[in-house]
Each structure stands twice: as structure tokens, then as C-alpha cells.
Amino acid sequence: MEMLKAIFLGLVEGITEWLPISSTGHMLLVDEFVRLNASDAFKEMFFVVIQLGAILAVVLLFFHKLWPFSASREQPVKRDVLRLWGKVLVASLPAALIGVPFDDAIDALFYDSPFVIAAALIVYGVLFIVLENRNARDLHRKRLNDLEELSYAQALLIGAFQVLALVPGTSRSGSTILGAMILGLARPAAAEFSFYMSIPVMFGASLLKLLKFGFAFTGTEAGLLLAGMLTAFVVSVAAIKFLMAFVQRHDFKVFGWYRIALGVLVIAYFALWT
């Protein structure tokens, strides 16, 4: 039964990590109904480290764009890929500078608060709708479609938006996609750069949680973590492909309305029935 719960949580992670609807918020809410029979320390670590499976999906799907050392690549292309990695690392700096020293304080303030999650879901849902309505009125505005045109300054500003995702319910992909679109990126480019940014940030966050938890896993705990990661990997491959196809033809308002509806349900549930 615990293995089935871990697989279900991996399913939730794989879907919600990449759609701008908050994976951490969903994982914490699902835990209200599908509770792992494990210590609080293990579950806190599990909800973060399970993301490693999701990251590997990005590496698999975008390897041809992210690996600069292929013998078949010409030198200018290799330089372009290395510059892209430079922008990704610059974008990761704000989260590293704030997330590492203040990780414990942020967890203590926000980690397990359903009303914080609900507020973040609703606020960012409204922002997505407002931004997309503005974009619909401003059809002639030039949008950046090629990440080679992204400046290091823009990458740093997108990274600043990523810091907002330290609050559960915000969504790392949601905050970075929203920030990138505000800065003038087209939806596909915003989503793609958000995926790339996830690699160093989520690897770093997972390593931090593992170091805090320690590596003295029981056999059951190791099995639960691996099952969740593997499920998250498989589901993430499908979710990323879906989102990249979706944003070619649709805007993000549907995710905004979903966030608002879920936030209202969370408030109603925890205010009235718990």
C-alpha cells in the first residue's frame, strides 16, 4: 500500500512539476488524503527529492539542445549552447543566494500551511489571467522566440521570479514562465527556459534536502523514494511534451482558472471540514 502511495505521489509530481499549477502545493494537499506511513522528516525530504526523476525527463527530452560537446556540433553551435548554460546558471543565482541560507526559515513559516498554499494558487492564477488578457490586447508587441536572443540581464530577472517559488503553492514553473512572459518572451520560449532552469535549481534543492535528512535510509524508505522518482520521470516526459505542444496554440488562462478554483476549494476544505 505504501508503494502504491509513492507511485501516486510520483504521478502527481510528474504532472504538476511542469504545468504552472504548483507541484509542492499539490503534493502537500494530496498528503492530507494519501498519507505516507513515514516520518515527517522523510516526507519533507521525499516531496523535494522526488523531483530528481522529473529533472531527468528534461535532460532526456532536451539533451540534443543542452549537450555542447557532441562531436557532430560545429564550434559556433557549441559556443551558443555554452552561452545558454551561462544564462541558466545566472538565472539560478537568486534562488541559490536566498534559498540556501533561508531554507529552514521559509519551511518553518510556509511549508505546511494550506492557507498560504491557497493564497499563492489564487494570486498567481489571477496574474496569469491578467497577463494573458494584456497580451491579447497587445498582439503587435514583439516577442522573443529564440533563447539565443535572451540577455544575461533578462535571465537574472527571470531567476528573481523563481525565488517566489520558495513559497509553496506558487509553482516554480509558474513563477518563471510568468516572469519570462512579463519580460517579453513568447510562451514556448518562456516554458523551455523554465525547464532548463529547473536542472541546477532542483538538483541543488534535492541535494540540500538529502544532506539534511542524511543517507541512512531504511530499505522501505529507499524503495518508496525510488518508486516515486521513477514514476515522476515517466509521467514528466509526457507532461513536458504536452505543455510544449499546448503553448504553441493556447494561452495560460486555463491554468489560471484552475489555480483559482483549486485555491477556493482548499480554503473551503480546511476552513469548514478540518
Distances (CA, A) of 58 to 134, 155, 183, 251: 30, 19, 23, 22
Indicate the pLDDT class of residue 188, thresholds 50, 70 and 90: very high
For the chain, the first-to-last Cα distance in angstroms comes to: 25
Instruction: Give pTM, 2 decimals.
Output: 0.87
Pick from 236, 26, 10, 252: nearest CA to 120? 26
Provide the mean pLDDT of the chain: 88
Pick from 223, 247, 52: nearest CA to 143? 247
Dihedral of CA 89/93/95/96: which sign?
Answer: positive
For residue 153, pLDDT beyond 90: yes
| Residue pLDDT, tens place only, 193-230 | 999 999 998 888 888 888 888 888 888 889 999 999 99
Record the cell numbers describing residue 81, joined without a space.
549552447
For residue 136, pLDDT beyond 90: no
What are the residue boundaries of the structural domains of the chain, listed by start? 2-272
Indicate the pLDDT class of residue 168, thresholds 50, 70 and 90: confident
